[in-house]
C-alpha cells in the first residue's frame, strides 16, 4: 500500500490499537485513523477486573500507549466518536457528527458489550456491570465502603468480581442458575474446583438460582431470586456474558453468523470479511480457524491482540492467517491460572487431571473421544503453557495415563 492510502479502524479497542501498532511496525507509511466511541485512550481489559478492582492500581495502568506514542507514530485518534454506518461500495464510514471518512482498507474492531438483565429494578443505582474503564473505576470506588455484594453469574467476570470484593472485605453472595461455577465453559468437574475455592474464602454460592428482580427505591437494597428469597444487597455486579457488536456490519450487508451459529462477523483465516477491503478482528470476529477446521469466536485478551496484528498484516497484502491457539488467564485470591485451547460447545470430552487439585497446584486437560487434547490449563504450576499448546497443535492421540503422570514429560505423553 502506498503513502497516499488510508486505513480506517473502527473501534479504539485492544484489537484496533494492536492493528494500528502492527501497521507501523510493518512499515506502512500511509494514513491510519483509529475511531473509538469511548473518550479514553485505547486500553486492555484484564487489569480492570484484577488489580484495578482490588484497588492496587488506577485504571490508567490498562492504557496501551500514551498520547505521545500516537502522535509520534502519526496515528490519528478520533475518540468519543461513533461510526454509525459503513458504505462498502463507496469505501466510506459515517460518524455520529454526520462527517464521513474514506478508506482504502477498513478494519472492524467493534468488540462486544455486556448482556444486560431485563428484570424489574435493573436500572436502580447500585447495579453495576464491568466492561469499561469507567465501570471498573465506579465499582472499585464502591467496594471501598465494604458493601454487601451480590454477584449475578459465576463466569469469569463474576468470579473475579467476587474474589476482589472478598479480598477488600465485602460480604459476597453469588447467584448462578447453572449447577456450579463455569459449568458452560469448563464443565462441572473443573467448575466445582473453582466453586470450592470461593467457598473457602467465605463466598456464599447459590447455584440453581436465577434473578427475578432487584429491589429498592432510590438504590438497590436486595435481589429477589427465583426461589422467592430476597438477598440483602448494597451493591450488585451483573456478569452474565457479552454479545458481539455486529450491528454495524449487518447494516452494511457484511456477512454475520446467525445467533444460533454463535454470532460474529464471518471471515476466513485471513480475517477478510465478505465485503471488499473490509476486515474484522477481536471479540466481534468469527473466523475459520485453520488448525481446528471450524469457525470460532473468542472473547479474550490474547485473541484481540493477536487478531489485530494478523488483520493488519493481511490488510498490507501479506500472507497472514490467524491460527493462534485461544488463550486466557485469571487470578483469584492465591490462584493463578492459564488456559489454552478451545472445546466446542456440546462436544463429548473427558477431563484428565495431572496433580492433586487439593494441593492447589495442578494441570487439567480436555480430551475428545479419540484422546486428542482440545484444551489444557495449569493452576499455580508455571512454564507449561507452551507444552500444552504443542499438544493441541500436534493433533495426535495421547495416553491419558501418561498425561496424568507428573513424572512423564508432556512432550512424551
- Write out the chain's pLDDT in tens, 413 residues: 767 799 999 999 999 999 999 999 999 999 999 999 999 999 999 999 999 999 999 999 999 999 999 999 999 999 999 999 999 999 999 999 999 999 999 999 999 999 999 999 999 999 999 999 999 999 999 999 999 999 999 999 999 999 999 999 999 999 999 999 999 999 999 999 999 999 999 999 999 999 999 999 999 999 999 999 999 999 999 999 999 999 999 999 999 999 877 799 999 999 999 999 999 999 999 999 999 999 999 999 999 999 999 999 999 999 999 999 999 999 999 999 999 999 998 899 999 999 999 999 999 999 999 999 999 999 999 899 999 999 999 999 999 999 999 999 999 99
SS3 content of the chain, % helix, strand, coil (to 5): 30, 30, 40
Q: H/E element holding 18?
A: helix 14-25
Instruction: Judge contact between 8 and 85, C-beta under 8 A.
Output: no
- Judgement on whether residues 174 and 131 belong to the same structural domain of the protein: yes
- Judgement on whether residues 128 and 215 belong to the same structural domain of the protein: yes
Total domains in the fold of the chain: 3
User: For the whole model, what pTM was predicted?
Assistant: 0.96
DSSP string for 109-171: ---EEE----STTTTSTTEEE-SSHHHHHHHHHHHTT--EEEEE--SHHHHHHHHHHHHTT-E
Gap between the Cα atoms of 263 and 112, Å rounded: 11
Gap between the Cα atoms of 79 and 36, Å rounded: 5
Q: Is residue 37 in a domain? A: yes
- Judgement on whether residues 120 and 225 belong to the same structural domain of the protein: yes
Q: What is the pLDDT of residue 173?
A: 98
Mutual angle of helices 14-25 and 301-315, in 10-degree steps: 40
Predicted confidence (pLDDT) per residue in 28-87, tens digit: 999 999 999 999 999 999 999 999 999 999 999 999 999 999 999 999 999 999 999 999
Angle subtended at Cα 233 by Cα 230 and Cα 236, rounded to the nearest 5 degrees: 110
Query: Which of 281, 315, 349 is the last residue in one of the domains?
Result: 315
The residues pairing with 328 across neighbouring beta strands, listed in sequence order, are 339
- Judgement on whether residues 31 and 124 belong to the same structural domain of the protein: no
Q: Is residue 329 in a domain? A: no
Catalogue the long-range contacts made by 286-289 (C-beta closer than 8 Å, 24 or more residues apart): 286/257, 286/261, 286/262, 287/322, 289/322, 289/323, 289/342
Output the furthest CA–CA distance in the chain (Å, rounded): 65
- Judgement on whether residues 107 and 249 belong to the same structural domain of the protein: yes
Strands 31-36 and 6-10: parallel
Domain span at 70 = 6-113+243-315
Instruction: Judge contact between 42 and 35, C-beta under 8 A.
Output: no
Q: What is the pLDDT of residue 345?
A: 86
- Judgement on whether residues 122 and 211 belong to the same structural domain of the protein: yes
Q: Is residue 13 in a domain? A: yes
- Three cell numbers at 122? 435493573
Instruction: Judge contact between 93 and 107, C-beta under 8 A.
Output: no
Gap between the Cα atoms of 162 and 171, Å rounded: 9
Q: What is the CATH number of the domain that holds 144?
A: 3.50.50.60
Gap between the Cα atoms of 210 and 224, Å rounded: 9
Q: Is residue 1 in a domain? A: no
Query: Which of 204, 224, 240 is the last residue in one of the domains?
Result: 240
- Judgement on whether residues 90 and 46 belong to the same structural domain of the protein: yes
- Judgement on whether residues 142 and 256 belong to the same structural domain of the protein: no
Instruction: Report how far apart the first and last C-alpha atoms of the chain are (Å, whole number).
Output: 47
Q: Is residue 321 in a domain? A: no
Q: Is residue 266 in a domain? A: yes
Predicted confidence (pLDDT) per residue in 204-225, tens digit: 999 999 999 999 999 999 999 9
Q: Is residue 340 in a domain? A: yes
Question: In 3-state terms, what secondary structure has residue 206?
Answer: strand
Q: Is residue 328 in a domain? A: no
Q: What is the CATH number of the domain that holds 369?
A: 3.30.390.30
- Judgement on whether residues 128 and 229 belong to the same structural domain of the protein: yes
- Judgement on whether residues 179 and 269 belong to the same structural domain of the protein: no
- Judgement on whether residues 189 and 293 belong to the same structural domain of the protein: no
Query: Which of 177, 206, 240 is the last residue in one of the domains?
Result: 240
Grid cell 465502603 is found at 145
Instruction: Judge contact between 308 and 16, C-beta under 8 A.
Output: yes
- Judgement on whether residues 134 and 180 belong to the same structural domain of the protein: yes
Amino acid at each position: 500500500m502506498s503513502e497516499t492510502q488510508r486505513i480506517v479502524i473502527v473501534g479504539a479497542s485492544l484489537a484496533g490499537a494492536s492493528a494500528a501498532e502492527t501497521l507501523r511496525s510493518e512499515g506502512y507509511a500511509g494514513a491510519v485513523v483509529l475511531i473509538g466511541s469511548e473518550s479514553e485512550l485505547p486500553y486492555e481489559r484484564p487489569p480492570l477486573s484484577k488489580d484495578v478492582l482490588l484497588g492496587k492500581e488506577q485504571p490508567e495502568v490498562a492504557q496501551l500507549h500514551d498520547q505521545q506514542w500516537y502522535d509520534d507514530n502519526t496515528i490519528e485518534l478520533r475518540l468519543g466518536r461513533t461510526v454509525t454506518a459503513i458504505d462498502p461500495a463507496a469505501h466510506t464510514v459515517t460518524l455520529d457528527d454526520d462527517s464521513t471518512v474514506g478508506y482504502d482498507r477498513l478494519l472492524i474492531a467493534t468488540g462486544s458489550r455486556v448482556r444486560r438483565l431485563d428484570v424489574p429494578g435493573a436500572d436502580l443505582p447500585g447495579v453495576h456491570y464491568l466492561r469499561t474503564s469507567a465501570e471498573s473505576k465506579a465499582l472499585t470506588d464502591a467496594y471501598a465502603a465494604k458493601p454487601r455484594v451480590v454477584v449475578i453469574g459465576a463466569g469469569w467476570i463474576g468470579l473475579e468480581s467476587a474474589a476482589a470484593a472478598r479480598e477488600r472485605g465485602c460480604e459476597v453472595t453469588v447467584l448462578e442458575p447453572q449447577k456450579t461455577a463455569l459449568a458452560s465453559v469448563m464443565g462441572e468437574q473443573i467448575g466445582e474446583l473453582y466453586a470450592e475455592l470461593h467457598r473457602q474464602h467465605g463466598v456464599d454460592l447459590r447455584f440453581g438460582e436465577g434473578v427475578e428482580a432487584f429491589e429498592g427505591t432510590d438504590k438497590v437494597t436486595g435481589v429477589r431470586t427465583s426461589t422467592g428469597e430476597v438477598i440483602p444487597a448494597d451493591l450488585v455486579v451483573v456478569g452474565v456474558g457479552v454479545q458481539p457488536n455486529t450491528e454495524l456490519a449487518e447494516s452494511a450487508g457484511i456477512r454475520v453468523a446467525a445467533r444460533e451459529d454463535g454470532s460474529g462477523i464471518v471471515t476466513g483465516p485471513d480475517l477478510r470479511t465478505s465485503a471488499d477491503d473490509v476486515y474484522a478482528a477481536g471479540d466481534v470476529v468469527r473466523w475459520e480457524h485453520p488448525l481446528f477446521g471450524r469457525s470460532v469466536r473468542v472473547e479474550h485478551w490474547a485473541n484481540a491482540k493477536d487478531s489485530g496484528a494478523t488483520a493488519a498484516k493481511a490488510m498490507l497484502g501479506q500472507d497472514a492467517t490467524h491460527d493462534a491457539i485461544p488463550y486466557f488467564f485469571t487470578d483469584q485470591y492465591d490462584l493463578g491460572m492459564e488456559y489454552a485451547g478451545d472445546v466446542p460447545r456440546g462436544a463429548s470430552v473427558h477431563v484428565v487431571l495431572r496433580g492433586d487439585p487439593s494441593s492447589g497446584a495442578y494441570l487439567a486437560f480436555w480430551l475428545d473421544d479419540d484422546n486428542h487434547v482440545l484444551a489444557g490449563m495449569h493452576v499455580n504450576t508455571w512454564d507449561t503453557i507452551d507444552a500444552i499448546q504443542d499438544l493441541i497443535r500436534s493433533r495426535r492421540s495421547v495416553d491419558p495415563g501418561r498425561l496424568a503422570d507428573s513424572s512423564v514429560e508432556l512432550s512424551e505423553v
